[in-house]
Chains A and B, each alone.
Chain A
């Protein structure tokens, strides 16, 4: 379907941050509503203006937290929205759905919210496929196949065979993103440098992945408000529009995914997003990519056409994607080194960079960088099963 008619028709009008990192003594919902409140204030809207609410990927409560739902979030925000959604699984369809609601005229201002007390509550990201009572619950468990880490590592191992990648490439991603985090005061890894030696000294957890190839957990929240560009022009924040976007879902179980699948979710979604935007990878000034693992960044850059299969070992260097490089990637440190707020980490960072409000890590301010006009951002779900590619533009 030709979606060029939607090019730049919608915008991100508000971004909400919270305290983040290690913030003990807070419920998960408190981060949702703080992030939403701050996004509403950032946009210069009133709470009652929000008529669509998406609670992003939602997890089981930790510690003494009650579980909560999207009604609780809406109630605490004092709103009665026309549309609500609460996502319990890893599909990444929030922007596609939001734009559908806006385009149909069902909503005018859609808020998307992420919040978790994962770090203080010690949520085990890598234990994701085990229940809280530690009883295996799927066929894979019979074979000791636990965690999303193993699934991504499985795709990565095949890529090592087919494309000559491996830890030598992934260390570049880990180190480059750490350099960005070292410029970003809110990042979990601010003032915590990482060397290649540190990377190699980190033991393998699920070979070929080390702990440093994987995200950690963070407390905090993040929210975005999506509205029409027409409405956004009248609001407070500098205008950042959605020049292109597309989602794709490839629901095959992880062990059926093929590394060289040309119809992978990332390849399909990015091709459609480029087509809608009327641009290609050569026009992109920076990337904010979903990085649950270092290899996810490599796989996504390949799917998005920045290099061809087999080229990563030459192309993907910390010099290129780190501060001062020709293609800045994950300029806040990404989820690996800033904070794990899933797709909200990169989307929020994209908008702040294009507004010129990123702070110490602002492109154009960091030596060797320039102010960006177009940022490619991806959200990714399950094991490369769901991809949302967004191309944001500074007006």
Chain B
């Protein structure tokens, strides 16, 4: 089956977060881990907000987590999301990483609740990009 590309928004990739989006192209959810104190951070930055170290490496998350909170877009706020209404934007607390803002897909919005377990699902997006979204855990 051909992948249906539903996610067409261009994302502005800048120098600080380029590695994150490069990871998304390869379906790897990457975050910066501080080489000195071990803190895993998001959003991307050249400096660790815990210890101010400039040294870091990109590490891959397993993509398991819990819904902290979510909202349901019932009206499109951009032409690119018209077809997706209603859709869920959620904040997921990753087991092995930072809090991450994403979408919950493959379910009705009414099925989503705070504190539900979710797992990573890569969704094809514009160009060669995939977006790290989440689905309700089995």
A binding-site residues for B, Cβ under 8 Å: 126-127, 130, 134-147, 150, 153-155, 157-158, 161, 203-209, 253, 255-256, 258-259
CB closest chain-B residue, reference A208: B71
Q: Which A residues are CB-close (under 8 A) to B10?
A: 135-136
Of B77, B91, B113, B133, which one neighbours A154 at CB under 8 angstroms? Answer: B91
Q: Which B residues are CB-close (under 8 A) to A144?
A: 9, 73, 77-78, 80-81, 84, 87, 89, 103
Number of interface residues of B (CB under 8 A): 38
What is the CB-to-nearest-CB distance from B23 to chain A, in angstroms, rounded to a whole number? Answer: 13
Rounded to whole angstroms, the CA-CA distance of A316 and B10 in the bound complex is: 43
- A–B complex contacts, Cβ < 8 Å, 19 sampled: A130-B77, A136-B78, A140-B101, A142-B131, A143-B89, A143-B101, A144-B9, A144-B81, A154-B71, A155-B69, A158-B68, A158-B69, A161-B114, A203-B74, A206-B75, A207-B74, A209-B71, A256-B98, A259-B69
Q: Which chain B residues in 60-109 approach chain A with CB under 8 Å?
A: 68-75, 77-81, 84, 86-87, 89, 91, 98-103, 109
Q: Which B residues are CB-close (under 8 A) to A258?
A: 68
Of B7, B74, B91, which one neighbours A142 at CB under 8 angstroms? Answer: B7
Given contacts A136-B80, A144-B77, A161-B69, 7 further A-B contacts (CB under 8 A): A140-B101, A143-B131, A150-B89, A154-B69, A155-B69, A205-B74, A258-B68
Rounded to whole angstroms, the CA-CA distance of A130 and B10 in the bound complex is: 12
Rounded to whole angstroms, the CA-CA distance of A47 and B89 in the bound complex is: 50
What is the CB-to-nearest-CB distance from B66 to chain A, in angstroms, rounded to a whole number? Answer: 12
B11 at the interface (CB under 8 A from A): yes
Q: Which chain B residues in 1-28 approach chain A with CB under 8 Å?
A: 7, 9-12, 17
B115 at the interface (CB under 8 A from A): yes
A143 touches B102 (CB 8 A): yes
Q: Which A residues are CB-close (under 8 A) to B87?
A: 144
Q: Which B residues are CB-close (under 8 A) to A142?
A: 7, 9, 11, 125, 131
Q: Which B residues are CB-close (under 8 A) to A138?
A: 12
B68 touches A136 (CB 8 A): no
Q: Which A residues are CB-close (under 8 A) to B75?
A: 203, 205-206
